[in-house]
Structure 1
Amino acid sequence: MFTRIISSTLALFLSSTLVFADSPKIENVAARKSGNYWSFDVTLKHGDTGWDHYADAWRVVDLDGNELGLRNLAHPHTNEQPFTRSLSGVEIPAGMTEVGIQARDNISGWGSEIKRIQLR
């Protein structure tokens, strides 16, 4: 009986820890225009623990939350924090002077933080 209580308590603790894990933090964004397209270098920080929990994507969105570009992250970065990944070929509608960057992890989904970036 005691072993079952300990096992149940441990399972509850581990599942609640994963549910309340922090979303990836957007540390830095660099944007540059080349012709009609934009490139973005985004630096993220996240407590990746391995394949079970890691930052798995970031995206460029307009101010209404519509996705303009998506950068999938193919693997955990447990030993590389923070880390920077790039996305090029993003088409930004004419006249748009600001976009947002939003990050996602494979447990919590899209984070609530949307870092706003001025396009110059």
Structure 2
Amino acid sequence: MKLDEIYEEYNKHFSIGILPYTKCMNCGKVYYYPRDSCPVCGKGDLKIMQSTGHGTVYSYTKFNNGFYGIISFSEGFRAYMDISGNNPGIGMEVEIKFKKIKDNLLPYAELR
């Protein structure tokens, strides 16, 4: 899969409110950020998967305009994103939602 094809697949998933992730069919590594080769084995045999959108706060920080953090997902990958809600804590459960920014739908974590 080429990188532009991966971005296209991610955007299709975003447009219907589903968080995608990538799985290497060679070594089984799962990861969120689009790449055209596996960061572990370097192979390009990749498949775009659908996440349940459920995870937990792995770490977070507060900025002037809100909270941002690393979310651990049940499928085994982590992603950095906005966290919606007051006073997040390590281990708190989140659910992925999407918000429109300009012409794009982007994921964020909402505390459950």
TM category (shorter chain) comes to under 0.3
Give TM-score, length-normalised by structure 2: 0.26
Higher relative contact order by CA 8 Å / sep ≥ 6: 1 or 2?
Answer: 1
- Please identify the structure whose Cα radius of gyration is greater: 1
Give TM-score, length-normalised by structure 1: 0.25
